[in-house]
Amino acid sequence: MPVAEIITIGTEILLGEIIDTNAQFIARKLRDAGIDLFRKTTVGDNPGRIADAIRQALQRCDIVITTGGLGPTVDDPTREAVAEAMNLVLEYRPELWDQIQSRFRRFGRLPTENNMRQAYVPAGATAITNPVGTAPAFIVRSGDCSVISLPGVPREMEYLLEREVLPYLEMRFKNSGVIKARTLHTVGIGESQIDVLIGDLEKLSNPTVGLAAHTGQVDVRITAKAATVTEADLLISDIEGEIRKRLGDWIYGVDQDSLVEIALVALRLKGWSLAVIEAGSDGELIRLLSSTNETVSPGVSPLFQGGEILQGLPEGNEFLQILRDYRVNRQVDVCLGVSIQPEIERQVIHLLLITPEREVTLTRPYGGPSSYAPRWAIHHSLDLLRRL
């Protein structure tokens, strides 16, 4: 199975001025193509450092993909850096200059003299024309390795990766296998608890099992490598079954499933409407549920009937009575209350739920950063709803 590395280029990324979404997009596409990604590196706009990063990558892998640094300005040094890393000179390609000028004409503009820099590529490179931008991409072979340089503009990078680069890689590495991943989402259980329950599975080599903790939930990722999609699915299915046996209903969904959607499905199956009262959480749950009403089809009554944000922090019995009265006054089936009370070294989360069948009162301590407490409370309150 071929091995790849990604080098994202741009001082603005190192300074935190922009978020590198390109590497994430490329990583997912490589995974789907059955290509192992071992490293992702970010380098500023310095040709020497970029060249060093490429040289090091070429010693370890079959494919190096760079993004960024293909513009027309002095601080776009990727062409020069790739040529330096591979002991090549830059050569002018008149056909690329023609394409660049044609692209500018479509915009009703004339290229400036520095745009001609974009018509240079390392000697012997395979040029990739860019119909959605002005910066051509290119591929340079060095023995069994390929360096593929793509623009940094996400729209251009994505277009060229899907239309040009992935077909090239598929042709070069035929029948290299596939990599598939499935993510199980859990709520109500901590990362360390999950590790105790499935730690032996995390030591497997294929499929691999890994944990990713988020505020209020933990993801369990299963990744399999195989010759075919069917074989990969079977590998994942066997391990997924074992994980589900051990974690039970702490698992609420898979891959793109969201906890709020799962909770609303539980409400809809009951035919119940919902209202929310929040105290100390700045109305985050109300905003989240309100956004789901925007996706309701015409003619379908929204499940969420609104909510209220309390200015004070009521005590347990007082809060419960407020919920009871609010449920009657709003004529809803379910009323959910979330209260976050700060203490010296922690936050105390109070969750109250009133349904036509029962009343539930839960108190949970939260010792993390106070700014994360609302998100943690939201996940646990939605967990209450999904278990209706």
Q: How many CB atoms lie within 10 A of CB 331?
A: 9
Helices (H), the chain: 11-14, 22-32, 47-58, 78-85, 94-106, 154-160, 166-172, 191-198, 229-247, 259-270, 284-293, 316-330, 373-386
Q: What's the confidence (pLDDT) of residue 26?
A: 97
Rounded Cα distance between 261 and 270, Å, is 14
pLDDT given at position 298:
56
CB 272 within 8 A of CB 355: yes
Low-confidence winner among 77-86, 263-272, 319-328, 336-345 (lowest mean pLDDT): 336-345
**pLDDT for position 143:** 87
Domains of the chain: 3-172 (3.40.980.10), 178-254 (3.30.70.2860), 259-386 (3.90.950.20)
Average pLDDT, the chain: 91
**Taking residues 185-194, what's their average pLDDT?**
93
pLDDT: which is higher, 333 or 346: 333
What is the mean pLDDT of the segment spanning 204-213? 94
Q: Can you tell me the mean pLDDT for 89-93?
A: 95
**Count of other CB atoms within 10 angstroms of residue 21:** 12
pLDDT of residue 282: 82
The confidence band for 294, taking pLDDT boundaries of 50, 70 and 90, is low
Query: Is residue 254 scored above 90 in pLDDT?
Result: yes
Q: What is the pLDDT of residues 93-144, one digit of tens each?
A: 999 998 888 888 877 888 888 888 899 999 999 999 999 888 899 999 988 8
Q: Which residue has better confidence, 111 or 175?
A: 111
pLDDT at 295: 58
Task: Read off the pLDDT of each residue in 210-225 and give the average, rounded to a whole number.
Answer: 92
Range with lowest mean pLDDT among 37-51, 199-213, 311-325 = 311-325
